[in-house]
Amino acid sequence: MKKILTAVLTLTATAGLMFAQESLATPDPTVIGNDSARQALKEVSVDKFELEGSWNAAISPDNGVISARLFDGSPAAKEPLQSEEGVPDTKVLGVKVEFFHRGVNSFYIRSTRPIPIEGVTKTISLWVAGRNMDHSLSVLVQDYYGNNFELYVGSLGFSGWKKMQVAVPPTPDGEHGIIQQSAYDGIRPGLRIVGFRVDCNPMLARGTYYVYLDDLRAVTDLYDIENRDEDDMHDDW
């Protein structure tokens, strides 16, 4: 009897661990900050990396030289949004880093100006070719009040293209954390994408490193926007 009970407990713990790992790897936007049944979730395109000069790359001049440019290509497994069928999507952003030496360093990939996302953003995703180097990718965002935050997306230690995504944690009380909306300060997009930071593994930060990005998207809750009366005033004056 003890053996059977032990086996059952072991299977339960294993299943719980697997579920937790899957939840962390693929955040569910329907349950992030969901304190009401009123939601209108929609996946939207934030940037397709199609416009030359819209993204810049930077690294400390003491650590290396960096460059960024567009290339023809696209992840084969990527599925286009239904609302954007027929929209050109043939480019990816490539970043090349030439390190001077090993060490603790980072490099940045920034949009020329912050990219706003309407509604309350639940998750952020993009396709990345990380060249199987165990560097760490974070997305840099600004909240409703312009406060800067960073969200850890994951390790770049994989080969080929991979869709990476991260959940945007909800504010616990409307005053702390990432605030995306307020009833006191008018109406404007709640979250803005500033760019990305790659924190390099000190042992692997040598020679030349390449990374490619494509198809930046977000899942956002547009309930308040879609259900706003047409004759209602906008509190932005």
Of 193, 138, 144, give the one whose Cα is nearest residue 170. Answer: 144
Mean pLDDT of the chain: 85
For 131, list phi and psi in degrees, rounded to 5: 60, 30
Determine the pLDDT at residue 13: 45
Helix (H) or strand (E) holding 12: helix 2-25
CB–CB of 166/153 below 8 Å? yes
Mean pLDDT in residue range 44-52: 95
Check: pTM over 0.85? Answer yes or no.
Answer: no
Whether pLDDT at 11 is above 70: no
CA distance 69 to 106: 19
The pLDDT-based confidence of 96 (bands split at 50, 70, 90) is very high
Tokens at residue 178, please? 């990432």
The pLDDT-based confidence of 206 (bands split at 50, 70, 90) is very high
Determine the pLDDT at residue 29: 79
Determine the pLDDT at residue 5: 39
Mean pLDDT in residue range 190-198: 96
Q: pLDDT digits over 208-230, tens only?
A: 999 999 999 999 998 777 676 67
Q: pLDDT digits over 116-142, tens only?
A: 999 999 999 999 999 999 999 999 999
Q: pLDDT digits over 150-168, tens only?
A: 999 999 999 999 999 999 9
The pLDDT-based confidence of 36 (bands split at 50, 70, 90) is low
Determine the pLDDT at residue 39: 82
- β-bridge partners, 148: 142
For 23, list phi and psi in degrees, rounded to 5: -65, -40
CA distance 146 to 191: 9
Length of the chain: 237
Determine the pLDDT at residue 35: 57
